[in-house]
A and B are shown apart, each in its own frame.
Chain A
Amino acid sequence: MSQTEDKKLSLSETETDKKEVRDSEEEVIEAIKKARDGDESAFRKLVEKYRSQVVGVAFRMVGDYEDAKDVSQMVFIKTYQNLDRFDTSKKFSTWLYRITINASIDFLRKYKKHRHESLDESLNITKEDQADAEEIYKRGLIKWAINQSLEKLSEKQKSVFILRDLEGLDIKMVAQILSMPQATVRWYLHRARAKLKEELTKNFPQLVERRG
Chain B
Amino acid sequence: MNCKKAKNLFYLYKELTPSENEIFISHLRACNPCNFEFQAYQESLNLVSKTLAFQEPQNYWNEYWNKLSRHISKKSSWGKVWDRVTESLLTLTRPVFGPVPAYAVSLALLILLLGLYPLVSSKSQVKFESNLVVHKSNLIAADVQGSMTVYKLTQR
Contacts and interface: CB of A to CB of B under 8 A. Distances in A.
Contacts of A171: 15
B130 interface: no
A207 B68 contact: no
Interface stretch (B37-45, B104-112, B132-140, B141-149): B37-45
A146 B72 contact: no
Interface in A13-65: 38, 40, 43-44, 47-48, 51-52, 55-56, 59-60, 65
Interface stretch (A1-9, A87-95, A129-137, A193-201): A193-201
A109 B94 contact: yes
Interface residues of A, number: 42
Contacts of B40: 208-210
A44 B67 CA distance: 12
Contacts of A164: 14
A194 B68 CA distance: 39
Given A43-B72, A200-B44, A142 B51 contact: yes
A59 to B, nearest CB: 5
A143 B45 CA distance: 13
Interface in A133-167: 139, 142-143, 146, 164-166
B36 interface: yes
Contact residue range for chain B? 35 or more
Dominant secondary structure of chain B at its interface with chain A: helix
Interface string B86-102: 00000000110000000
Contact of B64 (A69, A143, A200): A69
10 closest A-B pairs by beta carbon, nearest first, are: A210-B40, A193-B11, A56-B54, A38-B74, A80-B72, A190-B11, A208-B44, A77-B71, A59-B54, A207-B44
Interface of B: 10-12, 14-15, 36, 39-41, 43-45, 47-49, 51-52, 54, 56-57, 60-61, 64-65, 67-69, 71-72, 74-75, 80, 83, 94-95
24 contacts: A47-B65, A47-B68, A48-B65, A51-B61, A51-B64, A52-B54, A52-B56, A60-B54, A69-B64, A73-B64, A76-B68, A77-B72, A109-B94, A142-B47, A165-B45, A165-B48, A166-B49, A171-B15, A189-B12, A190-B11, A193-B45, A210-B36, A210-B39, A211-B43
